[in-house]
Every structure is written in C-alpha cells, then in structure tokens.
Homo-oligomer: A and B are copies of this chain.
Amino acid sequence: MLKPHCKLCNQRSGPSHMLNDCQLDVLNENSSQMIFQAGEALIKQDSPTNNVVYIKSGLVKIHTKGPNRERIMNIAKAPSYLCLHSTFGDKINHFSATAIEPTTVCYIDSKTFTNFIEENGKFAYQVIQSMGRGELQNFHYLIDIAQKQNMGRVAHTLLFFSKDIYKSNNFILPVSRQELADLTGITRESISRILHNFHNDKILKIEGRKISIEKKQVLEDISEKG
C-alpha cells in the first residue's frame, strides 16, 4: 500500500506527465498502490468499475468466461492502463484481470480520472493514444490467431512472449499449459502434443516452463504459414 507521492514516482504513466502540480496532488490523494502475486486477481469480471487500474510493473492476463471454456484475451505488460473501456463504457468490468507475475498496480478513482480528461486536453489526448495503441495490438493478435492452424497459433504465441514480452530467446513461460490453451483457443491436450513436436524437431528446448527458442526462423515460418 505504501507508495511514493505521484510527483516522485519513477514509474509514472505517459498521460500523467501532462498533469500540473495541483492535479498531481489530486491524483495522489485519489489513488492507491497494491502489489499482487502471480494468480491473484486484480479485477473480477462483472464487478462495477470504480477505478482505472494502472500497471506499474509486472504482467497480467486479461480473461473472460466464454460460452464454453475460459478465454484469455490478452497479456498486458507494464506500463499500461486497464479498465479504460469499461470506465467510459457501461461502468461494468467486462473482463477479469489476474497477475501472472508479481505485479504492482495503482488504482485510480474513476471520477478523478474522468475529471482529468475533461479538464486537461493533453491528458485526454495521451489517454486516447494509449487506448488506440492497445486495441490495435489486441485486434491483430486475435486476427492472427483466428486464421491459423494450431501449430501456427502456438508458434505465434511463443514468439509473442519471446519478442514482445521478454525480448529474449530464453524465457520462463508465465502461464501454464492450460492457460496457453485458453490463450490460443486450443485444447490442453493439443498444446501438449504441439510443444512435444516442437521439442522433438529441435525447434524449442523445453523444460517445464523454461523455453529456449533454438530455431527461430523455423518458428517464424510456422507462425507465418499458419
């Protein structure tokens, strides 16, 4: 719960840099910081949206109950805002958010946040920008996934973690096989088989959640070809 004054915070959001001193004081009064461990829920689907959530550090899955199984929409990494859509939509959180790595977030009172939007055009502009960028990414992820075969989807998702999240060919997968299934829209069993194949073909080295991409180009090809 302890947090530095927003003015002094070294993990401030882009939009917050548009706020004046007075507004930063208001922000400080109306926000609180929390730390979550992997598996802990930041936001529960269908709860009312009282806060905008700002991820200062860590990694979060955005998920929702589909008609059948759980569906993971997106992996959000710091820095980014959550709940913006719901705050300005119908005030109900349409998605759940759960930490998948240790994560620090600030909860910002919705009313305070919307006041800033109305008072401060530069702030509004930056918020819209970050909404825009976030959504574009999301959409492309969903589209890319939708038209691929299963192997292509898994390749795509592994490359996503490698390139977008960890910027390394060696990383610890932050999700279980079941979650990988929910993220790609594939069954757990098929995920098992596909990872096994990749391992056999020496495209990946896998030890539990530890992944090394050995043949990146091949993985790229599989991802491209679908």
Interface residues in A147-167 by Cβ distance below 8 A to B read: 147-148, 152
Query: Which residues of chain B are within 8 angstroms of A144 by Cβ–Cβ distance?
Result: 66-67
Say whether A208 faces chain B, with CB atoms less than 8 Å apart. no
Per-position contact with B for A205-226: 1 when CB-CB < 8 Å, else 0? 0000000000000000000111
Give the shortest distance, in Å, between A132 (CB) and chain B (any CB).
4
Is there contact, CB below 8 Å, between B85 and A136?
yes
Query: Which residues of chain B are within 8 angstroms of A121 by Cβ–Cβ distance?
Result: 117-121, 124
Say whether A131 faces chain B, with CB atoms less than 8 Å apart. yes
Give the shortest distance, in Å, between A49 (CB) and chain B (any CB).
10
Known: A66-B146, A226-B68. A125 touches B118 (CB 8 A): yes
Query: Which residues of chain B are within 8 angstroms of A152 by Cβ–Cβ distance?
Result: 67
Per assembly, the copies of the chain total: 2
Per-position contact with B for A11-38: 1 when CB-CB < 8 Å, else 0? 0000000000000000000000000000
Complex Cα–Cα for A136 and B93 (A):
10
Is there contact, CB below 8 Å, between B139 and A73?
yes
Complex Cα–Cα for A148 and B69 (A):
11
Is there contact, CB below 8 Å, between B136 and A68?
no
Is there contact, CB below 8 Å, between B135 and A85?
yes
B90, B131, B139, B147: the one contacting A131 at CB < 8 Å is B131
**Beyond A67-B224, A68-B147, 6 extra complex contacts between A and B, CB < 8 Å:** A67-B226, A71-B143, A85-B136, A88-B129, A88-B132, A94-B140
Interface residues in A100-152 by Cβ distance below 8 A to B read: 114, 117-122, 124-125, 127-129, 131-133, 135-136, 138-140, 142-144, 146-148, 152
Query: Which residues of chain B are within 8 angstroms of A226 by Cβ–Cβ distance?
Result: 67-68
Say whether A48 faces chain B, with CB atoms less than 8 Å apart. no
Complex Cα–Cα for A114 and B71 (A):
35
Complex Cα–Cα for A94 and B121 (A):
26
Is there contact, CB below 8 Å, between A132 and B71?
no
Say whether A89 faces chain B, with CB atoms less than 8 Å apart. yes
Query: Which residues of chain B are within 8 angstroms of A58 by Cβ–Cβ distance?
Result: none
